[in-house]
Chain A
Amino acid sequence: MGTYLFLLNKLLFQNKWKLAFTILFPLFLLTVVFPFATSTVEESSIPIAWVDQEKEGFAETIGFRINEDPRIQLLHVNSKEEAIVAVRTGKVEAAFILDEQFNQHIKSGDIRKQMEWIRTSRSFLDTFVKEKVAAEVMRFALNSKAANDLQQLKRNEEDFNWEVAFQHADQYWEPEPLFQMDFVPSNSGDLEQEEAIDNLTIGLLGFWMWYTWIIFAGGLLPIYQWKEKGLLDRIRLRSGSIRAFISSFYLVQTLFYSLLFFLLITLTLTSLKVEMNAVNIYIPAFIGFISMLLLTMIVNLFIKKQSVYLMLIIIYSMLSFVFSFLAISSGFEKWWSYILPHYWFYQLML
């Protein structure tokens, strides 16, 4: 056995490039392609063009507060024309243009036509920004209104200070707006989101199983070449039987590809921050994976022609991956789903 392990280690892991590719390709998918494809609303910020000619007072403060939100990224431009170009070219989702005398108008309670909102039919996430801008403007407008009214009432008193009145009114906004609608958080929303993550995770885990399956099947091909060249006959003559050799070969391959598969699963779970109990994933994965390995080895042992073996495995593995996913995500089940290793994996996991 030791002799065979020594040999197989030398034979199977000689080609360093192939080995590196086998491992680096999924890591590349996982770290580069995948996060890009699944970047969600929370992860990316919305670019917004912002035109503020005064650059002081309320206008400046609003711009500053909006920009504090990590989901919004303000792009300060100098004119309406520049803002339009930015929206047209898709550089920003939308643009907001503050009136040239924004500060003065808001202060005097004139909130009509103080801000222009430019968007295209493709703009989508900017409504969220609009609400936020409106809330900020409203805050200044109401404070000003309060201070103005107070000034009107106390117009005869010498020591009236408009600024103090404004600050006093602003207290009603901090730390939370006084008249804020109280939305009661509901758990059902969280549940739905968790399920969405699961579907994604399931697809990805299934894909890794398919990937390991295909390269594992390819890893068993040398048997055909060794047989063809008379190497198996030679081993049989020399050591009396090829059983130990063949089992060592399957053992080495099984260990290597199991390691690869569980590494991929672990990396995927950590990078997706899946909340699910890991045991609920690893045990089904183990069962699905082992049955996949066994089935492939049986096909490898009993199918004498290399091309037939390859065709069978490719069709079988594709079927397993695609149909099991359909079965789980849309209830497309058939009695023969049970001969698919992916199906056992999914069934046990969910």
Chain B
Amino acid sequence: MLQFENVEKIMKKKRIIKNVSVQINKGESIGIVGPNGAGKSTFLKILASVLKPDSGTVFYNGVPYSKNVQDLRKQIGYIPQEIALFEELTVKDQIHFWKKAAKNMGSPTYILEMLHALGLHHVYHQKVKALSGGWKRKLNVCAGMLHNPDIILLDEPTAGVDLAAKDDLLTWLKSLHKSGKTIILISHEWDVINYLSDSIFVLQNGEILFEGPSEQLDQFEKDQLDLEENQELIKILRQRKR
């Protein structure tokens, strides 16, 4: 459904994404892992059509983004790593705004369900700037998904969220996945990846070194990684068994 073909992204004369070709199918749930600065967020932004690649093509249902980006944007829900919210608004006004800004909206039942899954009804009348970091992150997720998208892209949605809320959020995402939605998620937390993702992308220095189910990671580590060269990555991968 989504496809990268020889995609390159250069920023400040640095190659951030290096010749990446990859395919994501409808209904998949993919977890992206990799060290800081690997290019995970940049990869997701290109997928979300926030950034344009410098060369190569991204396809949606076989058609390049440049031809059908408006269709794609209706189907995609992108949750950025940064908190992209208007701090001066209340949670209520914020949700109202993002609902109206979108051309297509989710059904009222869907929105209510999401608010409860995230617990946002507890802080409904508070101003965003008065919320704690965890609450902001949850609202950040909510704001990107009000239109009930079929493809959900999440950049570290659980960072700073308390364990109870994290559990609610993951349960809800899992249920969305079960109902057939495609989920692509970046996380530094293995429990999140293990719970949600059927397939894993390992990114390092702008390259996808591995794609496949987590069971194959042992083999990949043994065959492809050099103890000296990939020290950092090996440390990250070994964390998953803790």
Contact A240 B89 (CB under 8 A): no
Which of A3, A7, A231, A237 meets B48, CB within 8 Å? Answer: A237
Knowing A229-B84, A237-B50, the reply to whether A3 touches B78 (Cβ < 8 A) is no
A238 to B93, CA, bound (A): 16
How many interface contacts (CB-CB < 8 Å) are there between A and B? 55
Q: Which residues of A contact B49 (CB under 8 A)?
A: 237
Contact B103 A233 (CB under 8 A): no
Which of A7, A234, A236 meets B143, CB within 8 Å? Answer: A234
Contact A11 B88 (CB under 8 A): yes
Contact A7 B89 (CB under 8 A): yes
Chain B 84-112 near chain A by CB (<8 Å), digits 1 or 0: 11101100010001101111000000000
Contact B50 A233 (CB under 8 A): yes
Residue of A nearest to B146 (CB): A238
Task: Give residues of chain A (1-32) contacting chain B, Cβ–Cβ below 8 Å.
Answer: 3, 6-7, 10-11, 14
A10 to B96, CA, bound (A): 12
Q: Does A239 contact B (CB under 8 A)?
A: yes
Q: Which bracket fits the contact residues of A?
A: 10 to 19
Residue of A nearest to B100 (CB): A3
Chain B 31-53 near chain A by CB (<8 Å), digits 1 or 0: 00000000000000000111000
A11 to B50, CA, bound (A): 24
Residue of B nearest to A245 (CB): B101
* Chain B binding surface, main DSSP class: loop
Residue of A nearest to B88 (CB): A14
Contact B73 A240 (CB under 8 A): yes
Chain A 129-168 near chain B by CB (<8 Å), digits 1 or 0: 0000000000000000000000000000000000000000
Knowing A3-B97, A229-B82, A230-B84, the reply to whether A237 touches B89 (Cβ < 8 A) is no
Q: Which residues of A contact B118 (CB under 8 A)?
A: none
Knowing A7-B97, A239-B101, A240-B103, the reply to whether A234 touches B86 (Cβ < 8 A) is no
Contact A234 B103 (CB under 8 A): no
Q: Does B80 contact A (CB under 8 A)?
A: yes
* Chain A binding surface, main DSSP class: helix
A233 to B140, CA, bound (A): 13
A27 to B78, CA, bound (A): 47
Task: Give residues of chain A (232-259) contacting chain B, Cβ–Cβ below 8 Å.
Answer: 233-240
Contact A237 B86 (CB under 8 A): no
A10 to B101, CA, bound (A): 15
List 8 tightest A-B contacts by C-beta distance, closest first: A3-B100, A230-B84, A238-B102, A238-B101, A234-B84, A14-B88, A230-B80, A233-B50
* Interface set of B (CB-CB < 8 Å, partner A): 48-50, 70, 73, 76, 78, 80, 82-86, 88-89, 93, 97-98, 100-103, 143-144, 147
Q: List 14 A-B contacts (CB under 8 A).
A: A3-B97, A3-B100, A10-B89, A11-B89, A229-B82, A229-B84, A230-B50, A231-B85, A233-B84, A234-B78, A236-B50, A237-B49, A238-B73, A239-B101
Given A230-B84, A239-B103, 8 further pairs, Cβ under 8 A: A3-B101, A7-B97, A10-B93, A229-B82, A229-B85, A236-B50, A238-B98, A238-B101
* Interface set of A (CB-CB < 8 Å, partner B): 3, 6-7, 10-11, 14, 229-231, 233-240
